[in-house]
Structure formats: C-alpha cells, structure tokens
C-alpha cells in the first residue's frame, strides 16, 4: 500500500504488477524505482533465462545494500525446497 501511495496508483494495480497481471510501462517502472530508492536495473535481468519483472520490496522503504543483496541472492534460488529451507533458517535465527 505504501508503494501505491508513492507511485499514485491503487494498491490493486500494484498487486497486478506484482503478479504479472498487467504490463508495466517504462515510465511507471522508473517511478517505482525512484519510490524504492533503487536503480531501474534492479528489475531487469540480462540473463537469457530471465522471467518477468520481479516483485519489489513493497512497504519497507529504502533497503540497505546488504538487505538488497540478500533479496537478490534469495531470488536466484530456483529450487522451491531450498528457498523454503533458507526462509525457515532466517526465521529461526531472527527469532533469537
């Protein structure tokens, strides 16, 4: 919801972008990148097996470099079981 307010669209529209339900214009992508304090290149992969524009860290404001790196590396994990294991590990150590 915070991102939708910063960009000037409804939160439902942001959800459509996140779920690849709607195409996103370059102008809107630039606007989202500015709102999140990241370069547009964060959303664009240059690898041949790249998918659609990824989700954005909505609602968390500007992320520190190490937080962005953690998210970037997590998104590169293709195996669902491994992703789940990493997430459970982070939940466990963050609860301490």
| Spans of the chain, pLDDT less than 70 | 21, 45-61
What pLDDT score does 46 carry?
A: 65
* Segments making up each domain of the chain, as ranges: 1-63, 64-96
pLDDT tens-digit series, residues 65-77: 888 888 888 888 8
> What is this structure's pTM?
0.44
CATH architecture of 1-63: Orthogonal Bundle (1.10)
Please provide residue 77's backbone torsions phi and psi, each rounded to the nearest 5 degrees. -75, 115
What pLDDT score does 57 carry?
A: 46
């Amino acid at each position: 919801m915070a991102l939708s307010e910063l960009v000037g669209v409804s939160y439902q529209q942001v959800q459509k972008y996140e779920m690849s339900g709607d195409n996103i214009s370059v102008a809107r992508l630039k606007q989202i990148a500015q709102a999140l304090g990241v370069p547009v290149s964060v959303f664009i992969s240059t690898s041949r097996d790249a998918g659609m524009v990824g989700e954005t860290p909505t609602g968390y404001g500007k992320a520190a470099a190490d937080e962005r790196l953690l998210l970037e590396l997590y998104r590169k994990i293709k195996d669902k079981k491994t992703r789940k294991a990493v997430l459970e590990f982070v939940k466990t150590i963050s609860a301490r």
